[in-house]
Structure 1
Amino acid sequence: MSAQDTELTAAWASIRCGFLTQEQPELIVVDADSQIVSACKTLADNGISSAPVFDSAKNSYLGMLEYADLVALVLAAKQRSHLPEGNESLENYISQGGQFQVAVRHAVDISERNPFYSLFPESTLLNAVQVFSSGAVRRIVVMSGDGKLHGIISQTTVLRFVHDHLLSQMDGIVRQTLEQLNIGSQPVVQLNGNAPVIDALELMHTHKFSSVALVESDGTISGNISLSDVKLLFRKRSLGLLSHSCRTYVATIRQEEIRHASPEHPEASTAKWPYWSVPVTATLHSVILKMVATRSHHIFVIDAHKRPIRIVSVGDVLRALTPRE
C-alpha cells in the first residue's frame, strides 16, 4: 500500500458511521402504501432528496424513494400519453404509465439509481466510502442489528465531515489538481437552455446523471438543471412546468429558493448563482471547499471559453479519496 493510501486508510478508519448520525434530526420514513405524490411532496417539504420506504406488513424496509424514481414514472407516462396540461393532476398523469401503480411500494428504486444499503453504527467511514466508490450507492442507512434506524449517511454528509475534520490528514492528495487526478465525467451531458424541461429529465434518466449543463448556441455554459429541481413540481402541482424552457424553470426554482431561505441561512446567498465551475487546474482541495460552501453536488470544469469539458460530482471526489485495497 502506498504512503498516500496508508494516510487515507488511517483517516477513514478512525471514525464510526454512528458518529455522523448522532446529531441528525428524526429520520423521515415513507410508508410503502402511501401515495407517490404525497410521498414526494414529503421529500420536498422536508428539504430531502430521498427516504427509506418501510413495509409495515412485512416489518422490513423495501428500499429508497428519491426524485429519480418520480422522473422514471413521469417519463413512462409520457411514452404513453401527451405532455401534461397545467391543470392536470400529477396523480392522473403518472397513472397513465400503465404498468406502474400509484402506491410507493411500486416505485421503489424503479430508476435503478439508489438501492437500499445499510451499515452498522460500529462500521467505519472506510467501509462507507468503499461502498460509495462502487458508484451504485449514494446514501447508506445506518441501522442496528435489531433493525433500529440511526440515520442516513449521504455522500454529501461524508464530504462535509471531510471538510470539517479530515482535510489536514489527506493533504497529500487534496493538493493535486483535477487534471493530475483525472477525476470527473466527460463529455458533459448538456442541453440548450431553451429546450423543454421534459427533455432534461429524459437526458438525466437515460444517462443516469443527476445534473445537465444548460448551454448557449455557442456552447458556453449558462446554467444547470438537476434532479433536486424536480421538487418544484410537487410544491406547485403544475405539470405545465414540464413544457417550460429549462431556462425559465431554473429561474423559477432559484426565486423559490431565495423566497424560502432565511437571511441567516447559507442557501439564501448561494441559491442565486446558476451554476458552479472551476478550471481544470483547480486542486481537489479547492473543489471540496466550493462544494461544501455552495452545498453543490456537482461542479463543472470549464475551459478558457466557458465551455463545460467535465463534470465532477461529490461521488467522484470521494472515489478519489478512497484508498486502493
Structure 2
Amino acid sequence: MALAKVRWGMIGCGDVTEVKSGPAFQKVKNSELVAVMRRTGELAKDYARRHMVRKWYDDADALINDPEVDAIYIATPPSSHKEYAIKAAKAGKPVYVEKPMALTFAECNDMIAACKAAEVPLYVAYYRRAQPKFIKIKELLESNEIGDVRFVSTTYYQKAAEDISNKQNQPWRITPELSGGGLFFDLGCHTIDLLDFLLGPIKDVQGFASNQAGDYQAEDIVTGIYQFDSGVHGVGSWCFSAFESIDVNEIIGSTGKITFSTFGSEPVLLTTASKMEQWEFPAIEHVHQPLVERIVTDLTNGFNQAPSTGVTGARTSWVMDKLVGN
C-alpha cells in the first residue's frame, strides 16, 4: 500500500546525520523527519531542537513503534543494523539502513529474510547510485562509449587518520566488533558497491588484507582481484597508512576508458583514440538526498525502482567479506 507521505523515524543522531542525510528527509517532497532517537536523551533532544524535529526518544523500540512513524532510517554503527532492521520489519515499517549494511554477509541475509517475511522494502545507503555523476558513467557504459568493457582498476590510498593516536578511545569505524572491519569497510564499500552498480554483480573474489602500520586492530590495507558475471575483470588496492591521498578508478574498454574518483570532485573523463571529453558535477550538500527522493517515490507510488536495496547491499558485503578473508 502506497503512503501519501513518508514520516521518518531516525535511529542514531551522529555526524553522518547532521548534513549528509538528516536534512534530506525534510527537503524531499512528501517526506518528513518526525522523530529521532539516541541512547543519550539529551543529545537526541538537542538534535531534534536544532533540526526542527517534533519528537525525540532515548529508546529505539519506542521510536519504531510510534504510530506516527511510517519508515525507519538506521544511522547507527553496523553492529546494531541487524537488530534494528529486524525490529522495524516486524513492526511493518520500511527500512533504510546505513552502509555497510551489516557486520557480515550472513547478517545481511538475516535482514533480507526478515523484511521479505514482513513484506516491507529494505534499502541501503549506498547513495552514490542515485547521484548524477555515477548515473552519467553508467550511461556512458550503456551507450558503448568505450566499446566492450575489459577490466576495471581501483587505487585508493590515504594518510593515517589523525584520530587513531589514542588507542584507548578509537573511533568505531576502526573497531571491528562495531564496524565489521577497518576503514576499508567504511570507505572501500562505496567503490565496491559502485562497481556492482556500473558493471553488474561480482561472482569470484580473491583478496589479501593486512595490518601494516599497527595503529589499530583492523586491517589497514586490502588488495583484491575479482571477476564479474559479465566476464569483466577487476583489481583494487586500498591503503590507509600511505604518505598521500589518491582516489582513482579506471574502466577500460576495447575502444576507450572512463576515469573517475569515488569521493573526489575531479571531472569524469572519457578517453578514446579520437577524443577526450569530461563532465563536471557540482558538490551535493546533502549527499543522501537523490537516493532518498527515489525511495520516497517508491513508497508513495508503490514502485520498486530505488537502485540500492538489501539485495544489492548484501552483494557488496559478500565481496568485502571475501576480500578480507571473513
TM-score (norm 2): 0.24
- Higher strand share goes to which structure? 2
- Higher helix share goes to which structure? 1
TM-score (norm 1): 0.24
